[in-house]
Amino acid sequence: MRVPVSITVNGVQHQQEVEPRMLLVHFLREGLGLTGTNIGCDTSQCGACTVHLDGVSVKSCTTLAVQADGSEVTTIEGLAQNGDLHAMQQAFWDNHGLQCGFCTPGMIMSAVKLVEGNPNPTDEQIRHGLEGNFCRCTGYENIVKSVKAAAGAGD
Amino acid sequence: MTYVGKSVKRVEDPRFIQGQGKYVANLQLPGMAYAAILRSPHARARIKSIDAEAAKNLEGVIAVYTGRDLVEGIKFSGPCGAIPCGFTPPDTKVPTHHPLAVDVVNHVGDGVAVVVAESAYIANDAVDLIVVDYEPLPAVVNAKAAAQEGAPQLYDEISNNTSFHWTLGDKDATDKAFSEADHVIELDLINQRLIPNAMEPRAVAAQWNGFSEEMTVWTSSQNPHIIRLLLSGFTLGIPENKLRVISPDVGGGFGSKIFHYPEEVIVPWVARAINRPVKWVASRSESYITDAHGRDHVTHCKLAVKNDGTFTGLNVETYANMGAYLSTFAPLIPTALYITLFSGLYKIPAIWGETWGTVTNTVPVDAYRGAGRPEASYLLERLVDLAARELDIDVLEIRRKNLIPKDEFPYQTPVAMVYDSGNYAALIDKVEDLAGYQDMRKEQAAARQDGRLVGVGMSGCIEASAPGPSPVVTSLGSAIGLYESGIVRVHPTGNVSVFTGSHSHGQGHETTFAQVVADELGLPMEAVQIVHGDTDRIPFGTGTYGSRSAAIGGSALVRSAEKIREKVTKLAAHQLEAAVEDMVYDQENGTVYVKGSPDKSKSFAELAFATYYAADMPEGMDPGLEATTFYDPSNFTFPNSAHIAQVEIDRETGAVTIQRYVAVDDVGKVINPMIVNGQIVGGIVQGVGQTLWEHGLYDENGQLLSGSMMNYALPRADNFPNMVTGRVETPSPHNPLGVKGAGEMGTIAATVTIANAVMDALAPLGVRHLDMPLTAEKIWQAIQSSQNGGSN
């Protein structure tokens, strides 16, 4: 059985028929070829697949494509505008906030929402806010620095 | 321009921060089919029958194959060989490892059958429809229990499940040291099994061209050439000149992606069988039961000490769990990367070490960040701390008393290694200063007065990085030399492509290697492009592990760049009608001129073009500008460190809070301080993961109890304070860059630093030692037990 969905991703509306069990992350990666959203686990722990769904950060491995029907989704590919990096992307680059890069899209998407909700976060608030995103490379310290820098840039 | 030594921003980052990483899972080819693998739910069982009819009949399923199909071959895809072990000390007994099990499964997760279908969803549905009749067999999971009488015997050819027994040192001298010792500090410990958890699950894709009989395999690997060699020579049997292995962007490895895995055989075999591109991507649950695990030692060790704190002998016996099969480098880890490090930073006149490598019904164990060296540092630095406590000597002072002095390098240890360079006393002075150690102790004393459990821990650790030269590593048991390749190709317009056999999976080689080559040639970094990870583009390389890339891969590039400089210098001498000896190659500006006449210089681009124009060159000079080097190092390098941490334990819950962490490391010369610091801090966090939370825990039946991210506790952002890092720099004389290796030192040092800090916090309660992971529950139990008059 397939059901029709209409999902706006990075400003472009997509209409497809999907299996009801299809995860949003598979819709993005396989249905639309937007492979920037990575899959790091199958238990909703790692946060690599984080995207924005109607302005809220969600783990797209725990969201069905049908749940996003009629919604607006932003992925890492939709963050830069007109070729200009988002302040969070720039901050990750400037502060060595990534090594292998696999957790990075999810980490950046989570961090963007963290700073939107709390424009002047302390280190502790950043660390707490990102505890749902695993990074195995950086030890998190430069990610915290990056988020803080991006928050400062937004002032 | 000078780039080396500067924190240049990474050139690889723009693609990652914009979601354009080229991971294997992202690969999409026309006509692609998807594989899923049925895995054993039993630790050990005989396969009585496999019924795949229902799976084959599911709409969208293309084929189902079993282990027997792979071993015997089918019409379009010939038989597969067993997966070999690439490091076998003399007399090692190697169990047969088929890509998919034939007759008997030997660990939970052992592959039994592969389904290939039109989508990954269908392939996974079909896996659930395969019915296997298993006859469960008795299993063994503990490394030491496996070697005892009465244990289930896994393989006829491996008596007592003991694959190898390896020893090093002087037993008689060590026995004598213990018989004469004032104090003998003994410890039984378990260095628990870890699961690497690179964030990118492994993935393999393959495409077969039936007309040219060429195969391309994409795999998330740290060393594509070794995978090609093993595929060609042992498992898949396709000649190397028709086999291309590509490791594009790889999302972390930490050792776990060094090895030749069954899926690297299964996926191309299936692609050839059905003549379509095939992709397999591990789920995280699959990663837990198929990625090689790390550590897993059962150890008895003892340190002989004089009354004044001088170490006189060390004796260590270890049972090392190899898992069900010998993974690619498995026997190397608890032998030549372990016992050889037992001297640590110290003069210990007599050392004896013995390792029994045993097979068990668990996932194979192999190199994981640090690989043997954290295990060595852990036991030594725990013993040193216990000695300090028993003799009532400060933990810094007992270490200072035994350090190898800086004027004794090169230093021959009693366990084969010759240390290259170091200033260990300076390390300890610096970490004491940066940490404010004396104040920490005062703070701790005050906290103890208030009944708080505050601990200060330190470690001084040695690492052996960048293994080599090849005659040494092959004599130890390596099936291949450990040199590295590097091509510097200068194009006619003067920009440069660099091809390295090293592989970057987060380390930032595209930046650091460009810094090195740009400096060597005097070019802007933008003129230098680094290429890696594709066997059709780069010469045979041996990959990235053992913190070897800068020391060996980087050195290959230095040598190739030297050859380029030499050629263009000769050419400039010819064109400027001067003697070669009178020429100056200006590495600041990338120009060549006659001594004293820099105004009449030839630019690098002019000279590069002249080699391709090839009309005005000295007699005998070949056209073109390209140099290849296979660099074999003269010895290992020996990074070293001194770390101090302060922790506090919540008496009510047993939870540990890390209050301060101070790390001083000597990784030799530093190419990019920002990247090195990232490696050190990331390494520390991974090391602390072992101390406090991580545990690949099996029950006695061989079921993995921590088989997902829900119950295998990985370090999170809110578990750590910001860290303080410092550096002592003693260049290694073993390579032209003077580098030592930065990838593993943090992990090696952090594990035991935090363990020592926690034990220090618990000292007032009489707790002597607890095995890792030092979970809140375990510490709480120890607190309760001590309050009830018990002791540990």
- The distance of B718 to chain A (nearest Cα, Å) reads 5
Asked if A130 reaches chain B (Cβ–Cβ under 8 Å), the answer is yes
Same domain, B503 and B545: yes
Report the b/e string of B352-378 with b at 16+ CB within 10 A: bbbbbbbbbbbbbbbbbbbbbbbbbbb
pLDDT averaged over chain A? 96
Confidence of residue A84 (pLDDT cuts 50, 70, 90): very high
Instruction: Give residues with Cβ within 8 angstroms of B446, minimum separation 6.
Output: none
Same domain, B600 and B684: no
Contacts of A149 in chain B (CB under 8 A): none
Are A126 and B720 a contacting pair at CB < 8 A?
A: no
Same domain, B709 and B666: yes
Max Cα-Cα span within chain A = 49
Asked if A146 reaches chain B (Cβ–Cβ under 8 Å), the answer is no
Helix (H, G, I), strand (E, B) or coil at B188: strand
Same domain, B21 and B66: yes
Q: Kindly state the average pLDDT of the residues B103-121.
A: 98
Whether the pLDDT of residue B791 is over 80: the answer is no
Give residue B475's pLDDT: 87
Same domain, B686 and B721: yes
Are A93 and B9 a contacting pair at CB < 8 A?
A: yes
Does some domain include residue B474? no
Are A36 and B23 a contacting pair at CB < 8 A?
A: no
Q: Which helix (H) or strand (E) holds B358?
A: strand B350-359
Under 8 Å between Cβ of B750 and B658 = no
Whether the pLDDT of residue B113 is over 80: the answer is yes
Chain A with chain B: Cβ pairs closer than 8 A: 180
Residue where a domain stops, chosen among B590, B615, B631:
B631
Rounded to two decimals, the pTM is 0.97
Does some domain include residue B143? no
Same domain, B209 and B323: no
Q: Which helix (H) or strand (E) holds B787?
A: helix B776-787
Does some domain include residue B2? no
Whether the pLDDT of residue A143 is over 50: the answer is yes
Write the pLDDT tens digit of every residue in B166-185. Answer: 999 999 999 999 999 999 99
Give residue A152's pLDDT: 85
Among B369, B370, B629, B601, which Cα is nearest to B484's?
B629
Chain B residue with CA closest to A37: the answer is B19
Same domain, B604 and B717: no
Count the Cβ atoms, other than its own, within 10 Å of residue B114.
Answer: 29
Write the pLDDT tens digit of every residue in B561-600. Answer: 999 999 999 999 999 999 999 999 999 999 999 999 999 9
Q: Kindly state the average pLDDT of the residues B227-252.
A: 97
Looking at residue B737, what DSSP letter applies?
T
Contacts of A133 in chain B (CB under 8 A): 717
Q: Are strands B278-281 and B33-39 parallel, antiparallel or unpaired?
A: parallel
Are B506 and A137 a contacting pair at CB < 8 A?
A: yes
Same domain, B650 and B624: no
Q: What is the C-alpha to C-alpha distance for residues B731 and B739, in angstroms, rounded to an integer?
A: 6
Write the pLDDT tens digit of every residue in B473-495. Answer: 888 888 889 999 999 999 999 99
Chain A residue with CA closest to B688: the answer is A139
Residue where a domain stops, chosen among B631, B653, B677:
B631
Does some domain include residue B227? yes
The CATH number of the domain where B577 resides is what?
A: 3.30.365.10
The structure tokens listed for B140 are 């063994």
% of chain B at pLDDT higher than 90:
96
Q: Kindly state the average pLDDT of the residues B141-163.
A: 97
Residue where a domain stops, chosen among B598, B631, B664:
B631
Contacts of B723 in chain A (CB under 8 A): 139, 141
Write the pLDDT tens digit of every residue in B672-711. Answer: 999 999 999 999 999 999 999 999 999 999 999 999 999 9
Give residue B1's pLDDT: 59
Asked if A127 reaches chain B (Cβ–Cβ under 8 Å), the answer is yes
Mutation test of the interface with chain A: which of B16, B250, B671, choosing the one with the most A Cβ atoms within 10 A?
A: B16
Chain A residue with CA closest to B198: the answer is A136
Q: How many folded domains does chain B comprise?
A: 3
Asked if A41 reaches chain B (Cβ–Cβ under 8 Å), the answer is yes
Q: How many CA atoms lie within 13 A of B467 on its CB side?
A: 28
Pick the CATH number of A3-78 from 3.10.20.600, 3.40.50.150, 3.10.20.30, 3.40.50.970: 3.10.20.30
Domain residue extents for chain A: 3-78, 87-153
Q: What is the C-alpha to C-alpha distance for residues B174 and B304, in angstroms, rounded to an integer?
A: 9
Chain B residue with CA closest to A142: the answer is B678
Whether the pLDDT of residue A154 is over 70: the answer is no
Give residue B789's pLDDT: 55
Same domain, B298 and B286: no
The structure tokens listed for A87 are 């302040």
Chain A residue with CA closest to B285: the answer is A42
Same domain, B114 and B130: yes
Q: What is the C-alpha to C-alpha distance for residues B255 and B293, in angstroms, rounded to an integer?
A: 9
Asked if A72 reaches chain B (Cβ–Cβ under 8 Å), the answer is no
Count the Cβ atoms, other than its own, within 10 Å of residue B272.
Answer: 23
Are B20 and A99 a contacting pair at CB < 8 A?
A: no
Instruction: Give residues with Cβ within 8 angstroms of B478, minimum separation 6.
Output: B86, B87, B332
- The distance of B459 to chain A (nearest Cα, Å) reads 20
Asked if A83 reaches chain B (Cβ–Cβ under 8 Å), the answer is no
Confidence of residue B348 (pLDDT cuts 50, 70, 90): very high
Q: Can you give the residue range of the structural domain that contains B419? A: 294-467+635-787
Are A76 and B18 a contacting pair at CB < 8 A?
A: yes
Q: Kindly state the average pLDDT of the residues B319-328.
A: 98
Same domain, B229 and B268: yes
Instruction: Give residues with Cβ within 8 angstroms of B316, minimum separation 6.
Output: B299, B300, B301, B302, B339, B342, B352, B353, B354, B379
- The distance of A60 to chain B (nearest Cα, Å) reads 15
Under 8 Å between Cβ of B647 and B457 = yes
Nearest-CB residue to B678 (from A42, A127, A138): A138
Looking at residue B405, what DSSP letter applies?
P
Task: Spell out the alpha helix ranges (H) of B693-772.
Answer: 745-762
Same domain, B101 and B127: yes
Are A80 and B254 a contacting pair at CB < 8 A?
A: no
Chain A residue with CA closest to B678: the answer is A138
- The distance of A70 to chain B (nearest Cα, Å) reads 24
ipTM of the complex: 0.98
The domain A87-153: what is its CATH number? 1.10.150.120
Contacts of A104 in chain B (CB under 8 A): 16-17, 21
Does some domain include residue B160? no
Are B16 and A21 a contacting pair at CB < 8 A?
A: no
Contacts of B9 in chain A (CB under 8 A): 93-94, 96
- The distance of A12 to chain B (nearest Cα, Å) reads 17
pLDDT averaged over chain B? 96
Instruction: Give residues with Cβ within 8 angstroms of B33, minimum separation 6.
Output: B62, B116, B117, B118, B274, B276, B277, B278, B279
Give residue B792's pLDDT: 45
Write the pLDDT tens digit of every residue in B406-417. Answer: 999 999 999 999
